[in-house]
C-alpha cells in the first residue's frame, strides 16, 4: 500500500506578516482613538428630556428660554411640582424647572447622571437675572454617598464588557458546543453577576436598591455579551470573536453613555450604544439600582435579544456540527500467507 502524502502546507511569507502587523495595529489604534475620543470631545445636550412645571403664565417664559437652545432640550410640561417629581423619579426627564413665586426651582436626579445634573444646574443658573438669588436645586434621586460623582458606576461598564468577551471567546476556543457551551456561558455569567454585586453593591457602595436585582442585571449583561461573542463565533468562526470584541469593546463601551448620558453623545453614537449590551446594561442597572425599575423595559429587551439570539446560534450550530455516530466498519480478514518450505 502506498503511503498517503499530506497536502502541502501553505505558509504566509514573513514579509506579508510584517506588513499585516504594520498596517493592522495602526488601524486598530485609529479606530480605538476615534471611538473613545470622538464622543468625549463632542459631549453636549441633544434633545435631552427636561421638564417645565408651574402655572402657564409663569412657566411659559422659562420654556421659551430653554427652547432658545435649539436642539438641546426636549421640553415636557407638568402642572405642578408634585407631577414634576414623579416624572423625575420615573426617568421621564433628567430634571424639571419649577416656576414658583420666588423664582425658578430646579429638580434634578444625579443618580440618572451626575454630569447632566451639573449641566442643568449651570444652564438654569446662567439664565437667572444678575440681581436674582441663586436658583435652589433639589436632588430628587441622588447618587450614593460613596459615589457622588458617579465615577464608580461609569467605570463598571468596561470590566463587564471584558468579562463577557472573555467568557464568549473561552467557550468558543475551548471546543465546547451545543448544550455544554450554553451551560458554560450562563454559569459564568451568573457567577460574574454575583461577584460584581458583591463588589459594587456590598463593598464599594456604588449601587443601591435590591442586591439580587443588581446581581441579576450584571449577570444578564455579561450573558448578552458572552452569548453574542460565542454566537458570532458559531456562525462565522474565529473572525466572529474579533467582530464581537469590536462591537462590544470598541463601540459598546465608549458609546454606552454610562459616564454621562446617551443624549450627550454625538449622533448616532448615543442611539447605537443603547442597542449594544454595555449601553443597555448600564441603563438597566441605573433603573434597577436607583429608580425602582422605572425605564427598565427597553434595555431589558435589548439584553434579552442579544442573549437569546446568541445562545440559539450556539445551540443550533453545535447540533449541526455534532459528529454522526456510525457503526464501525467490519474488519476484513487478511489473506492467508502461503507457507514457504525449504528443502
- CA-CA distance, 269 to 16, in Å (whole number)? 35
Would you tell me the crossing angle of helices 211-236 and 157-173 to the nearest 10 degrees?
A: 40
Tell me the pLDDT tens digit for each residue of 222-236: 999 999 999 999 999
Please tell me the distance from the alpha carbon of residue 122 to that of residue 125, in angstroms, as a whole number: 5
On whether the CB atoms of residues 281 and 253 are closer than 8 A, the answer is no
Q: Which set of grid coordinates corresponds to residue 123?
A: 444652564
Q: Are 200 and 138 in contact (CB under 8 A)?
A: no
Report pTM.
Answer: 0.85
Which residues have CB under 8 Å from 52's CB, separation 6+?
59, 62, 63, 66, 75, 76, 77, 78, 96, 97, 99
Rounded CA gap, 235 and 201, in Å?
37
C-alpha–C-alpha distance, residues 243 and 222, integer Å:
17
Spans of the chain below 70 pLDDT: 1-10, 128-133, 318-343
Each residue's pLDDT tens digit, 249-279: 999 999 999 999 999 999 999 999 999 999 9
Query: Which letter, b or e, does each residue of 296-308 get, where b requires 16 or more Cβ atoms within 10 Å of its Cβ?
Result: beebbebbeebbe
d(CA 108, CA 89): 10
- How far is Cα 182 from Cα 187, in angstroms, rounded to an integer? 8
Distance CA 235, CA 231 (A): 6
CA–CA dist 201, 207 (Å, integer)? 5
Q: Widest CA span of the chain, in angstroms?
A: 133
Q: Quick one: pLDDT at residue 298?
A: 97
- Residue pair 74/49 in contact (Cβ under 8 Å)? The answer is yes
Paired strand residues for 276: none
Query: What pLDDT is stored for residue 66 in this prediction?
Result: 87
The C-alpha atoms of residue 326 and residue 288 are separated, in whole angstroms, by 52
Residue 29, SS3 per DSSP: helix
Residues comprising the chain, all counted = 343
d(CA 264, CA 312): 35
At residue 266, the 3 state secondary structure works out as coil
Amino acid at each position: 500500500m502506498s503511503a498517503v502524502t499530506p497536502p502541502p502546507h501553505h505558509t504566509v511569507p514573513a514579509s506579508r506578516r510584517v506588513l499585516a502587523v504594520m498596517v493592522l495595529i495602526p488601524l486598530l489604534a485609529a479606530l480605538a482613538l476615534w471611538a473613545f475620543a470622538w464622543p468625549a470631545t463632542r459631549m453636549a445636550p441633544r434633545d435631552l428630556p427636561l421638564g417645565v412645571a408651574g402655572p402657564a403664565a409663569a412657566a411659559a417664559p422659562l420654556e421659551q428660554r430653554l427652547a432658545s437652545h435649539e436642539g438641546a432640550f426636549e421640553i415636557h410640561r407638568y402642572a405642578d411640582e408634585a407631577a414634576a417629581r414623579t416624572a423625575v423619579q420615573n426617568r421621564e426627564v433628567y430634571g424639571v424647572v419649577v416656576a414658583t413665586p420666588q423664582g425658578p426651582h430646579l429638580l434634578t436626579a444625579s443618580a440618572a447622571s451626575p454630569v447632566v445634573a451639573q449641566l442643568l444646574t449651570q444652564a438654569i443658573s446662567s439664565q437667572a437675572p444678575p440681581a436674582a438669588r441663586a436658583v435652589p436645586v433639589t436632588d430628587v434621586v441622588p447618587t450614593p454617598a460613596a459615589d457622588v460623582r458617579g465615577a464608580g458606576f461609569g467605570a463598571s461598564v468596561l470590566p463587564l464588557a471584558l468579562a463577557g468577551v472573555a467568557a464568549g471567546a473561552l467557550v468558543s476556543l475551548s471546543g465546547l458546543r451545543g448544550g455544554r457551551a450554553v451551560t458554560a456561558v450562563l454559569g459564568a455569567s451568573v457567577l460574574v453577576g454575583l461577584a460584581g454585586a458583591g463588589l459594587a453593591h456590598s463593598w464599594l457602595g456604588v449601587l443601591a436598591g435590591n442586591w439580587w436585582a443588581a446581581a441579576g442585571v450584571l449577570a444578564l449583561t455579561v450573558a448578552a455579551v458572552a452569548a453574542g461573542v460565542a454566537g458570532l463565533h458559531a456562525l462565522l468562526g474565529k473572525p466572529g470573536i474579533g467582530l464581537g470584541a469590536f462591537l462590544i469593546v470598541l463601540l459598546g463601551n465608549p458609546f454606552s453613555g454610562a459616564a454621562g448620558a446617551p443624549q450627550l453623545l454625538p449622533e448616532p453614537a448615543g442611539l447605537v450604544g443603547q442597542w449594544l449590551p454595555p449601553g443597555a446594561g448600564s441603563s438597566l442597572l441605573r433603573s434597577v439600582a436607583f429608580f425602582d425599575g422605572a425605564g427598565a423595559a427597553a434595555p431589558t429587551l435589548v439584553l434579552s435579544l442579544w442573549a437569546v439570539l446568541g445562545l440559539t446560534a450556539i445551540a443550533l450550530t453545535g447540533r449541526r456540527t455534532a459528529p454522526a455516530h456510525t457503526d464501525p466498519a467490519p474488519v476484513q480478514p487478511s489473506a492467508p500467507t502461503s507457507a514457504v518450505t525449504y528443502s
